Amino acid sequence: MCSDPPAGPAEFAGQAPPADGAEGPREVRFAQVEPTHLPDWMQSPVVERRPTGLDRPRFFWARHNGPLTVGLGFALALLMVAGGAWWVDRVADGYRAATTAPTASAAPEPSSAVGMPRDLFAGTPAAAFAVGAEAIVLPAATAEGPFSKAQVGAALNSVRRALNESRLETGMLVGDTAPFLGLLAPDSRAQMRPHFDNSRFLHVATRIGTHTNWAYDTRARGRISYRATKVNGVRLLEVTTEFVWVYSFDVVRRAPAGAGLVAVRDQLLWQVPHPADVPASARGLWLASAKAVTWNADCALLRDGWLDVTPWLPDVHGDRAPAGDPGAYFDPAAPMPTRMRC
């Protein structure tokens, strides 16, 4: 718990080949040589010797060694091809068996800091909240005072887009304010831009203070109502939104339920003036007032305009989540808490 931001609910009000000439091969000429006559003493009678059984295979191989070598080589090649095909087929069968084996599919879950799957919302009130933009459910549009059904529907849609851009879209969460500001009336945009230079915009929008353990999963719950009114002669359609936005951050698996969550509960009043009552620069969506409280946020980063989870320290917090019981911080229908639980 910290005293800065202020103890009470924070509020805001306002508005990328041979060379030529080379000799060819010469004709080879052989010299004529007289036949050689051996002297009688060098001559010996020819003795016939019949081949034995062992000579016959050798003579057969001498006469046929060329075809036999080719045949044996061809047969060996066939054996190698057949063996290779058999091996490839075995490998393919193993791969098919591995890839066609039935497996159970399950939706991916967030993982803890030690790589173990974990539902960071389990065991907290946010476990029953809708995921992201599914939580922004608009009431039915009907004609209200001087505003037609179509005008009321357009106003409600602009509020829904503003809530999505300010609290859920990655652009705003990492610091890009342009998409949100672009949804406001020109005059309102000019008045709101300076608020993003300090932490006061936290009552209206969320910027995540770290991207190393942010789990990219947000749950929310809330309600929206509207009415026609008149202020200083200007007819207005007022839209009130009351929401709890719960952001998840990865923590070690042994941390208790809720230790990886940060909740922002806000109450915003949006106004859309009747186009006939204001100049063109003032037509569109205005933010008339805003207040918000946080639960389990890092107080030091919150003062600088960034939202991050309070570090959970087992030696300090034991089995208890740092901020204790979320209580009314998770219930948009309960009275707004009077203190920040950062």
Res 95 pLDDT > 60: no
Res 127 pLDDT > 70? yes
Residues above pLDDT 90, as percent of the chain: 45
Which of 146-155, 206-215, 316-325, 327-336 has the largest mean confidence? 146-155
pLDDT class for 82, splitting at 50, 70, 90? low
Query: pLDDT: is 210 or 281 the higher one?
Result: 281
Per-residue pLDDT, 14 = 52
Average pLDDT over residues 104-119: 48
HEC-encoded secondary structure of the chain: CCCCCCCCCEEEECCCCCCCCCCCCCCCCCCCCCCCCCCHHHCCCCCCCCCCCCHHHHHHHHHHHHHHHHHHHHHHHHHHHHHHHHHHHHHHHHHHHHHHCCCCCCCCCCECCCCCECCCCCCCHHHHCEEHHHHCCCCCCCCECCECHHHHHHHHHHHHHHHHHHHCCHHHHCCCCHHHHCCECHHHHHHHHHHHHCHHHHHCCCCECCCCCEEEEEEEEEEEEEEEEEECCEEEEEEEEEEEEEEEECCCCCCCCCCCEEEEEEEEEEEEECCCCCCHHHCCEEEEEEEEEEECECHHHHHCCCECECCCCHHHHCCCCCCCCCHHHHCCCCCCCCCCEC
Between residues 86 and 135, which one has the greater pLDDT? Answer: 135
Per-residue pLDDT band for 107 (boundaries 50, 70, 90) equals: very low
Rounded average pLDDT over 55-68: 53
| Higher-pLDDT residue of 91, 65 | 65
Whether this prediction's pTM lies above 0.85 is answered by no
Query: Which pLDDT does position 141 carry in this prediction?
Result: 98
Q: Where along the chain do its domains lie?
A: 111-330
What average pLDDT does range 66-82 have in this prediction? 60
Q: Say what the pLDDT of residue 187 is.
A: 97
